[in-house]
Amino acid sequence: MDIAIDTSKSRYHVDKNGYYGRFGGAYIPEMLYPNVEELQEQYMKVLSDPGFQEEFTDLLKNYVGRPSPLYYAKRLSAKYGAKIYLKREDLNHTGAHKVNNTIGQILLAKRLGKSRIIAETGAGQHGVATATVCALMGMECVVYMGEIDIERQAPNVARMKMLGATVVPATSGSKTLKDATNEAIRDWINNPVDTHYILGTAAGPHPYPDMVARFQSVISEEIKKQLLEQEGRENPDYLVACIGGGSNAAGTYFHYLDVPEVKIIAVEAGGKGINSGFSAASTKLGKIGIIHASKTLLMQTDDGQIVEPHSISAGLDYPGIGPMHAHLYETGRGTFLDATDDEALAAGYELSLLEGIIPAMESAHALAKLKDLDLKPEDVVVLCLSGRGDKDLNTYITNMKK
Ligand SMILES: *Cc1c(COP(=O)(O)O)cnc(C)c1O
């Protein structure tokens, strides 16, 4: 992990108060102060420690299988008329980028003397990545998951249990991700001394957005090296990633945020269409507000009630967006597009046939916008293939029959 990067003069990295422009911060209940303050004070010290770096790098290499390949997708490139590279996070152990973050956070938890891990999960991907590293480290693991998600995502629930985790249903509200997150925060308040909360995306109170972005920044660190090797230059013309809370995107952009010639493209879940009432496009539909202790853009009613998001992919089904991305949106540094459920499905089928790679539904949203970029033949595009589609086979199969 390239911790030496000086982010202090950047307009796009977190400032010393935990803000990205007017977004971010830590709007936490008083009872959570000790937990969050400990993290704020400790995280950069721990991350900069050479012993920590060594252990993190070793596990990413020998356990996760990094570096993940940067694959030149020839047939996809021919179709869209540009040089398209796929950053293959789908090849990581557990099948997505999420494990980069859970490895980093569990090593941090160990160094802070914690013995118990809690996490929230929506589709179960972050729950599985957390249960995996808890098994690896022999630590107790409790995963909060909405009751409805538990029904929808039975295979991931089985995986978590097999890995030794306790899965606790969240039965309040819509019984999905945001409710699971609330339950996890409640648990943390009650267990401040021995418990670390492994948050699964670049959202939540400072320092989580920056901490998670740093663990995921291995993605752009590798892209720079790999692109230099394969194209003779570190900088692509376009970086494309899908955004739920924003962790794979934050990792993909991290080392390029202050390189203005690299265009940043973020793809949100348009669901059944932006104006359909069934969408998860948090920047376009969102207004400034506070969700999970962070000031950011979120989908809410005029009186501030959170609007239920919809997306065909459970990983993008979140009503907010991490504060780094809210700031990239507001400053115009990032271009925010949205892909509908149908566009994402079509892109998923297309990549399967063109390249022999079945992408996660989330990643398929990023792929779906290649057609909307104004690409020239000499353009170099790097797209983060955040995960593999095995978990989405049911969705793919059901929609194929129609
Ligand atoms: C969870 C998930 C996402 C969305 O999360 P981010 O934090 O926005 O990256 C995207 N792709 C896959 C494969 C996921 O599992």
pLDDT digits (tens, 9 = 90+) for 53-62: 999 999 999 9
Query: Could you give the angle at which helices 98-111 and 208-216 cross, rounded to 10 degrees?
Result: 120
315 — pLDDT class (breaks 50, 70, 90)? confident
The pLDDT of residue 239 is above 80: yes
Ligand 1 neighbourhood includes 86 CB (under 6 angstroms): no
Instruction: Please say whether the dihedral angle defined by the alpha carbons of residues 308, 144, 245 and 399, taken in this order, is positive or negative.
Output: negative
Do residue 168 and residue 299 come from a single domain? no
- Residue 185 within a domain: yes
Q: What pLDDT score does 3 carry?
A: 63
Query: Tell me, what's the pLDDT at 304?
Result: 87
List phi, psi (to 5°) of 389: -90, 5
- Provide the pLDDT confidence category of residue 153 given band limits of 50, 70 and 90: confident
What atom of ligand 1 comes closest to residue 212's alpha carbon?
7
Residue 229 included in any domain = yes
Catalytic status, residue 61? no
Query: Does residue 176 carry a pLDDT above 90?
Result: no
CA distances from 181 to 30, 83, 186, 234 (A): 18, 39, 9, 38
User: Are the CB atoms for 349 and 396 separated by under 8 Å?
Assistant: yes
**How many domains in the chain?**
2
Domain check: are 56 and 128 in the same one?
yes
Asked whether the predicted pLDDT for residue 289 surpasses 70, the reply is: yes
The reply to whether ligand 1 has any atom less than 6 angstroms from the CB of 246 is yes
SS3 state at 399? helix
Which is the closest atom of ligand 1 to the Cα of 249?
A: 9
Q: Over 80: is that where the pLDDT of 5 sits?
A: no
Distance of CA 9 to the CA centre of its chain: 25
Contacts of 55 (CB under 8 A, 6+ apart): 107
Q: β-strands 116-121, 83-88: how paired?
A: unpaired
> Rounded to whole angstroms, how far apart are CA atoms 175 and 197?
20
pLDDT tens digit string along 321-347? 999 999 999 999 999 999 999 999 999
Mutating to test ligand 1, I would choose from 88, 89, 90, 98 the residue with most ligand atoms within 8 A of its C-beta, which is 98
> Do 196 and 129 reside in the same domain of the chain?
yes
Quote the tokens at residue 203: 């959202």
Can you say whether the dihedral through the CA atoms of 263, 268, 273, 276 is positive or negative?
negative
Ligand 1 atom nearest to CA at 96: 13
pTM of the model: 0.97
Domain boundary among 166, 195, 212: 212
Dump pLDDT digits (tens) for 14-33. Answer: 999 999 999 999 999 999 99
- Decide if 9 is inside a domain: no
Q: What are 198-220's pLDDT values in tens digits?
A: 999 999 999 999 999 999 999 99
276/131 same-domain check: no
386 in ligand 1 pocket by Cβ < 6 Å? Answer: yes
List 68, 89, 120, 268, catalytic entry? 120
Q: What is the pLDDT of residues 119-147, one digit of tens each?
A: 999 889 999 999 999 999 999 999 999 99
**Domain co-membership, 199 together with 262:** no
Positive or negative: CA dihedral 125, 205, 29, 314: negative
Query: Which pLDDT value is given to residue 178?
Result: 83
* Residue 385 confidence (pLDDT): 98
1 occurs within a structural domain: no
* Set 87, 98, 175, 224: catalytic member: 98
Provide the strand spans (E) within 52-156.
70-72, 83-88, 116-121, 140-146
For residue 388, give the amino acid letter.
Answer: R
- Phi and psi at residue 48, in whole multiples of 5°? -85, -10
pLDDT at position 401: 64
Asked about 391 being catalytic, the answer comes back as: no
Say if residue 2's pLDDT is above 70: no
Domain that residue 315 falls in: 65-95+217-399
State yes or no: pLDDT of 402 exceeds 70: no
Q: Which residues contact 317 (CB under 8 A, 6 or more apart)?
A: 122, 123, 176, 177, 244, 269, 280, 309, 310, 311
355-400 pLDDT per residue, tens: 999 999 999 999 999 999 999 999 999 999 999 999 999 999 999 8
**Which residue out of 316, 317, 357, 363 has the highest number of ligand 1 atoms within 8 Å of its CB and is therefore the one to mutate?**
316
What local confidence, expressed as pLDDT, does residue 318 receive? Answer: 84
* Residue 298: pLDDT over 70: yes
Domain harbouring 126, CATH code: 3.40.50.1100
Q: Is 313 in the pocket of ligand 1 (CB under 6 A)?
A: no
Which of 167, 192, 212 terminates a domain? The answer is: 212
Residue 2: inside a domain: no
Whether residue 320 is contained in a domain is answered as: yes
Last residue of a domain, one of 160, 177, 212: 212
Active site residue 140: no
249 and 283 inside one domain: yes
